[in-house]
Amino acid sequence: MTFQSYLFLFAFFPVLFIVYYVLLKKKKIKLADIFLAAMSFVFYAYGNVKYLYFLSLEVLVNYAVYRLLVWLEYQKSYQKVRKWLCAGAVAGNLFLLFYYKYYNFFVENWNGIFHTEHSFRTLIVPLGISFITFQQIAFLVDAYRGECDNCTLLEYTVFVSFFPHISSGPIMTQDQFFPILRSEKRKEIDWDRINRGIFLFIFGLGKKVLLADMFGQAVDWGYGNIAGLNGMSMFLITVFYSFQIYFDFSGYSDMAIGISWILNLDLPVNFNSPYKAYSVVEFWKRWHISLTRFLTKYIYIPLGGSRKGKLRTYCNTMIVFLCSGIWHGASWMFVLWGALHGVAMVLTKALKCYGERIPRILKRSVTLLFINFTWIIFRTADLKELREVFRAFLKGGISINPDLFQFFGIAGKGVEEYAVLYNILVFLAIIGFLVFLLIAPNAKEAVEKMKYKIWHGFVAAGIIALCVLRFSSVSSFVYFNF
């Protein structure tokens, strides 16, 4: 099930909202949490019932390990056992992630290197396995470090399965969620917060359905016809992908936070206007914030962070970004993408003293160009396709392929007759999008400061209507694949 579907919008969520708040109104908090967990499992298992077994097993086994870690904390003679238990649980979670997500990738490379013929397996990769795995690893490590307050099985189940974040993040930590889940304010119906949550959800829905998918259709067409594109058309395709992934991830993040507000809960910010960044370092403080936080706390700092000299710092940075790359998917292209970001981070840190002298507009421009370039690698399937993309760039040409306009509601003979005019309009539109992304407040900031006006309601209703009309052609979120 996805947020951008008739089933979710007109059946699943209305039922959840009504029953959940009836239970809260009657002060039956535990029943409300049970119902929320049950509906989260329904949401998760809708695509494939087998997902249910995976999620149930993950919750029960990891919670059992957590209880053992808590009990062993007070048994002084069993501290080594406690340490090995935590290490084994982390390894077990990583093994499941490897098996489902990377097994065939490993076999493919093994066969290629050693000229063997090991067979592939037909595996159903559980939805959001990368997010679920990292979240539970973080919880177990926090428990081992003694940073977790005592939690019940029900609280832990809600923490892991809470449906707005389970498929595409954010990767939550226990200290971000449990205080909100246990808050007294949660028991009170906050209509202002609910209204703001609805508006934020609608804005996120619009980003996904009306913008991300529009650009996505053009990108899919472009990557399916690389050989027929000239340099300018290929350049536009890469820019469109930058817009697609921006609005896709931004839209999901807005919808997830909006839903949590409607349910009187909250999720950590995972997306904060990343294209406003003046460096790659700042970009990763704004893009997929929860992944950056996880990699920093549980990999970078344990490796020594920046405490053991510059060379060690640079090595640790590269390790973190290689992990980030492979986390995104079983492909060498993701590894290459992560490596390039790692190199950029190292260079930014190494040349920090020189960077302060560079004009801010130049720093932002260079950062945007680098991000856009690396998205090409992120999007391509393999090195062969990447070479085809670069060949298209080298063809030159300043005219735009007329077929590209069809994805923006423009088609017909007029496109070819007035090609120059349409080309100018396309570039003006791109500049307009960039200026908007670089200057305007993000949706969350806008909704938090919003003072209700009648026209806000009309705008929201219009967005909903347009989105509903396009639901049949909507694609899944980009980060669903990770």
Nearest to 107 by CA among 94, 123, 118, 122: 118
Alpha-carbon distances of 221 from 253, 409, 415, rounded to whole Å: 26, 15, 18
**Cα angle for residues 439, 444, 446 (degrees, 5° grid):** 60
Q: Is residue 170 reached through a cis peptide bond, with omega within 30 degrees of 0 on the bond before it? A: yes
Q: Return the residue matching tokens 């909250």.
A: 266
Nearest to 25 by CA among 200, 176, 191: 191
Q: What is the pLDDT of residue 407?
A: 73
Q: Please report which helix (H) or strand (E) contains residue 88, including its range.
A: helix 79-97
The residue extents of the domains of the chain are 6-188, 193-481
Q: What sign does the CA torsion over 373, 340, 215, 461 have?
A: negative
Q: Which amino acid is at 307?
A: R
Q: What is the pLDDT of residue 184?
A: 82
Nearest to 3 by CA among 468, 360, 481: 468
Output DSSP code: residue 149.
P
372-414 pLDDT, tens digit per residue, is 999 999 999 999 999 999 999 988 777 777 777 777 665 544 5
335-356 pLDDT, tens digit per residue, is 999 999 999 999 998 888 777 7
3-state secondary structure of 421: helix
pLDDT tens by residue, the chain, 482 residues: 788 888 999 999 999 999 999 999 888 999 999 999 999 999 999 878 888 999 999 999 999 999 999 998 888 878 899 999 999 999 999 999 999 999 999 999 999 999 898 999 888 889 999 999 999 999 999 999 999 989 999 999 999 999 999 988 899 999 999 999 998 888 888 999 999 999 999 999 999 998 899 899 999 999 999 988 988 889 999 999 999 999 999 999 999 999 999 999 999 999 999 999 999 999 999 999 999 999 999 999 999 988 888 999 999 999 999 999 999 999 999 999 999 999 999 999 888 877 777 888 899 999 999 999 999 999 999 999 999 999 999 887 777 777 777 776 655 445 555 555 656 666 677 777 777 777 888 889 889 888 888 888 888 899 898 888 887 666 666 666 65
Largest CA distance in the chain: 83
Which residues touch 478 (CB under 8 Å, ≥6 apart)? 244, 245, 248, 249
Which residues touch 324 (CB under 8 Å, ≥6 apart)? 291, 295, 338, 341
Question: What is the Cα–Cα distance from 399 to 371, expressed in whole angstroms?
Answer: 24
Q: What is the pLDDT of residue 7?
A: 92
Q: What is the pLDDT of residue 397?
A: 75
Q: What is the pLDDT of residue 98?
A: 95
